[in-house]
Structure 1
Amino acid sequence: MSTIIDDLGLPGRIRAERTGRGWSLARLAEESGVSKAMISKIERGQSSPTAVVIGKLSGALELSMTALLSPSEPLGAVVRRAADTPDWTDPDTGYLRRQISTPAFPVDITEVLLPARARVPMPAGAYAFIDQLIWVLEGTLTLVEGDDTHLLSPGDTFELGTPQAREFVNGTEEQCRYVVVVIRRSRP
């Protein structure tokens, strides 16, 4: 299995996205709610961002988490072997994202492995420019949206609505495996 960090790497992609917009560190910090110091450390490769931080940065940059995490690949690639499928693990929770679709494909398809007893909060900004569907394959996923709690079992799906802060929770002793399908909305 390949790591999701490629030759340019996540630090380089964040820097390239920021500077490509003509944004300073302060502007990205303001837009994302992530401190300027933390963004600087990430861009220099001195800190590994958590899923929450990546969610905030991707929302501010109007990208899906997949677009920010995935190495660019040549157009026209049809077969990607399991051993070449990029993945990324959140250093805080052990939450693993395996990128099933390539960046050139019009829909992001990501397999997620959520460890037993893990909780992954995601900011509303992570959903601002995407439509997302969750499909549980194994285990139990509890999705918390404000005062609403949704308990999802294998085979259940959930289409996320209006962007809001959410928490993905595995309250069991078994790993939860689910698929995230993301459609990128056109930018206004």
Structure 2
Amino acid sequence: MSTIVNDLDARLGARIRLERETRGWSLTELAQRSGVSRAMINKIERGESSPTASLLGRLSGALELTMSTLLARIELHPGRLLRAGEQPRWVDPTTGYVRRHVSPASDLPLDLVQVELPAGASVPYPASSYAFIRQLIWVLGGALVFVEGEVTHRLGEGDCLELGPPTDCVFHNEGKAPCRYAVLVLRVA
């Protein structure tokens, strides 16, 4: 498993570098746009550090990509069928948050992602992560506290929430068991 994770970190770092260079940006410019230090971006691009979910959200937002799009660009599974065993998984090294890209690569403007948020974990995302997408969150198991700007939503199994306008958000699991939820991401260029 660690070889797969290390390979994913290397591909992710190379993709972030490619996205940055395609825009003609220096490390300093991406750092200014994302609020992530130049040194950290450099470590990520070299595959020496695995970004947290929050940090990846800030980088993808600065690149004007959804986190799903950024991660999909490093995944190697073309075709209309993506079997469960082939669905790419990414693990946040700090919280243990597990993100599984469920939907196959497609020209459809949406992605389906499943997340497992460990007990007690919190993952913040800046408003820039939501600037060009619409999302639905559907809780599959456990309970999720979703803070959307000034509003706190307490979601239980089966509950589904449509996110409002872009604002800073936090996914939080206050429970003693993992929370599983699906996120439907609709890209709205």
Q: Same fold by TM-score, threshold 0.5 exceeded?
A: yes
Q: Aligned in 2, Cα 1:115/1:105: closer, same or farther, shift over 3 Å?
A: farther
Q: Does 1:178 align with 2:187?
A: no
Q: Which residue of 1 aligns with 2:126?
A: 123
Is the 2:62–2:128 Cα contact (8 Å) retained in structure 1? yes
State the secondary structure of the residue aligned to 1:111.
strand
Task: Identify which of 95, 104, 127 aligns with 1:93.
Answer: 95
Q: Between the two proteins, what is the percent identity of the paired residues?
A: 52
CA RMSD of aligned residues (A): 1.9
* Secondary structure at 2:134 match in 1: strand
1:4-38, Cα deviation, whole Å (9 max, x unpaired): 75596100110010001111111111111111111
Whether 2:109 is the aligned partner of 1:109: answer no
Q: 2:64 aligns with which of 62, 65, 83?
A: 62
Q: Output the amino acid matched with 2:164.
A: G
The total of aligned residue pairs comes to 185
- In the alignment, the residues of structure 1 paired with residue 134 and residue 122 of structure 2 have an alpha-carbon distance, to the nearest angstrom, of 22
| 1:61-98, Cα deviation, whole Å (9 max, x unpaired) | 111101112324465x1222211110001011000000
Query: Which residues of structure 1 form unaligned runs of 5+?
Result: none
Contact preservation (8 Å) 1:67, 1:103: no
Q: Distance in 2 between matches of 1:90 and 1:50?
A: 5
Q: Quick one: distance in 2 between partners of 1:147 and 1:7?
A: 34
Comparing both structures, which one devotes a greater share of its residues to helix? 2
For structure 2, the residue ranges without an aligned partner over 5 or more in a row are: none
The AA in structure 2 aligned to 1:56 is R
Decide whether aligned partners of structure 1 residues 3 and 99 sit closer, same or farther in structure 2, where only a CA change above 3 A counts.
farther
Instruction: Using the TM superposition, name which of 145-154 and 6-15 deviates more.
Output: 6-15
> Could you tell me how far apart the structure 1 residues matched to 2:116 and 2:77 are?
27
